Structure 1
Amino acid sequence: MEYLDFELPIKELEEQLQKCAIIGEESEVDVTNTCKEIEDKIINLKKNIYENLTPWQRVQLSRHPNRPYTLDYIKALAGDTFMELHGDRTVKDDKAIVGGLGKIGDQSFMFIGQQKGINTKMRQYRNFGMANPEGYRKALRLMRMAEKFGIPVVTFVDTPGAYPGLEAEERGQGEAIARNIFEMCVLKTPIITIIIGEGASGGALGIGVGDRVLMMENSWYSVISPENCSTILWRSWEFKEKAAAALKLTSKDMSTLKLVDGVIPEPLGGAHSDRETTFNTVRETIVKLLGELQAKDVDNMVNERIEKYANMGVYEEK
């Protein structure tokens, strides 16, 4: 188990609890009450820490190495029914974006999302979740397939941004993202989008348009990362905490600003602390939202989707 800087007090108490349990096992001393007191302290400390996280601490939690990634969610939701589909039929198969068909119960879904990788070798293979144009074109191909067969789309957003390399720009990175945004606005099948970790810049928007867009409690969604914002404004990464607060990028901020449709709660300690509960909550949310969307006429659903995005950023001066 890895701990972030602000989680170190929890680590100390958990180590004390382990030592207490060992003493109880290796001696005849009754340490039940002592262990119970430490457990209560851990619970209270966790509540105090996780209920008062700063925006930057939530950014750190969204990047926790043990946090579930897109394929973790897909495998937990669809199990053995998931069949990955590859390639954009133009350039190649972008490993930073995964997608394919799978079932939750008896309902088929087209699952699409960015995949970062669980270790250094896999992160390089997945390009750290930063997709090239062919990744977004693969995603669009799969969404059009879903539309053709009346299959709802579920997208999982988790990226530090689209790949900014020269070759990506040469192959039309901006056009690929813009095309996806346009096509997703008018796609005639339900789209549910969930930001599970990082939702940065156009890289997130390329698969981030939906009838319902939700954020995991400890995810973030912004036009730019706190580090890059700090670099641009203050010529240094040292002000990333200040930038994170100013960007209003947390799930609570985004929900208040009505830029997302809801927040999916995470277990105390984050999604990685209790994966089973996290996956069950996401499954129940998807099933519930799909029921609401399937009750709508398709044309009305698309019109509501377009209207939702058209109304973002509209305000009145008094």
Structure 2
Amino acid sequence: MSNAMEIVNQARKLDRLSMKDITTQLVEGFIELHGDRLYKDDEAIIGGIGKINGRPVTVIGNQKGASIEENMRRNFGSPHPEGYRKSLRLMKQAEKFNRPIINFINTSGAYCGLEAEERGQGEAIAKNLFEMSRLNVPILSIILGEGGSGGALALALADEVWMMEYSIYSILSPEGFASILWKDSKRSSEAADLMKLTSYDLNELGIVEKVIAEKIENRWINKEDLMKQMKKDIIDKLDSLNTLPRETLLEKRYDRFRKF
């Protein structure tokens, strides 16, 4: 297993499995839906409807760019409030039509610029958490790369949270942690080891239920094979969650987060 900072660097790579890969190769007949019906569309989040093995689903996730231009357009995967409000609109729509929700997370955090705060960033994230806690359809969240702070949590209040093997999930970046604790961002590698932010650490602590392997015998699994296995695991989990009475589903979701 790599050390924590190596995993952080791997999680930040731009060639990781992305929301675009998911919507073109894992989800069948994906239709993207836009806008939060309040302000505008946020391209840092892709969301819409499609099918997985013929089962209708709502899928939502962060999209970083593959180039400087796309990263600027997608704000490096860091949503504004309208991104979270779009997500919630689509999740409420999924509940209305009894579709399970699958969220794919890859963000260093919600955008912390002045305009985001002016438009209610904190309220948008809090509203997502409040509403997701009582949505009466199955919710599965999968961290693809970075899972940073409340920006990630706003899509991760789910029945189960899974992580890719080389992804991270934490309250802030190792650089931020080192800057606050030691006033020295260069100690980020030391901070990463302390923070317990890797998939292995969080699975062991019971914060996430599943680690999705990205390597076999020290060889990277290609994206096609990775998504084929992921599709099978997702369907199996949705089948399992769908057998639960809705009251039990909500109770188990509530208990999952209360234990932390």
Give, in whole Å, the separation in 2 of the partners of 1:209 and 1:267: 27
Q: Write 1 or 2 for the structure with the bigger share of strand.
A: 2
Question: Could you say which residue in structure 2 is the equivalent of 1:131?
Answer: 79
Question: Could you say which residue in structure 1 is the equivalent of 2:3?
Answer: 54
Give, in whole Å, the separation in 2 of the partners of 1:96 and 1:76: 20
Opposite residue 202 of structure 1, the aligned amino acid is: G
Larger Rg: 1
Residue 100 (1) aligns with residue 48 (2)? yes
Indicate conservation of the 8 Å contact 1:61/1:270, yes or no: no
Q: CA deviation at 1:267?
A: 2.6
Structure 1 unaligned blocks of 5 or more: 1-51, 313-318
Residue 75 (1) aligns with residue 11 (2)? no
Kindly provide the CA deviation profile for residues 189-245 of structure 1, in whole angstroms up to 9, marking residues without a partner as x.
000100010000000011111111100111000001111111212222210100100
Indicate conservation of the 8 Å contact 1:267/1:278, yes or no: no
Give, in whole Å, the separation in 2 of the partners of 1:240 and 1:308: 30
Opposite residue 89 of structure 2, the aligned amino acid is: R
Question: Could you say which residue in structure 1 is the equivalent of 2:228?
Answer: 280
Q: CA deviation at 1:270?
A: 7.5
Kindly provide the CA deviation profile for residues 155-193 of structure 1, in whole angstroms up to 9, marking residues without a partner as x.
001000000001111111001001101111100100010
Give, in whole Å, the separation in 1 of the partners of 2:195 and 2:122: 23
SS at match of 2:76: helix
Indicate conservation of the 8 Å contact 1:217/1:251, yes or no: yes
More off after superposition, 290-299 vs 273-282: 273-282
Give, in whole Å, the separation in 2 of the partners of 1:124 and 1:174: 22
Give, in whole Å, the separation in 1 of the partners of 2:12 and 2:230: 19
Give, in whole Å, the separation in 1 of the partners of 2:52 and 2:4: 33
SS at match of 1:82: strand
Give, in whole Å, the separation in 2 of the partners of 1:274 and 1:109: 24
Indicate conservation of the 8 Å contact 1:200/1:222, yes or no: yes
Question: Could you say which residue in structure 1 is the equivalent of 2:184?
Answer: 236
Change in 2 beyond 3 A, CA 1:270/1:162: farther
Question: Could you say which residue in structure 2 is the equivalent of 1:259?
Answer: 207
Question: How many positions carry a matched residue from both structures?
Answer: 259
Indicate conservation of the 8 Å contact 1:218/1:270, yes or no: no
Indicate conservation of the 8 Å contact 1:162/1:203, yes or no: yes
Indicate conservation of the 8 Å contact 2:143/2:162, yes or no: yes
Q: TM-score, normalised by structure 1?
A: 0.79
Q: TM-score, normalised by structure 2?
A: 0.97
Identity %: 44
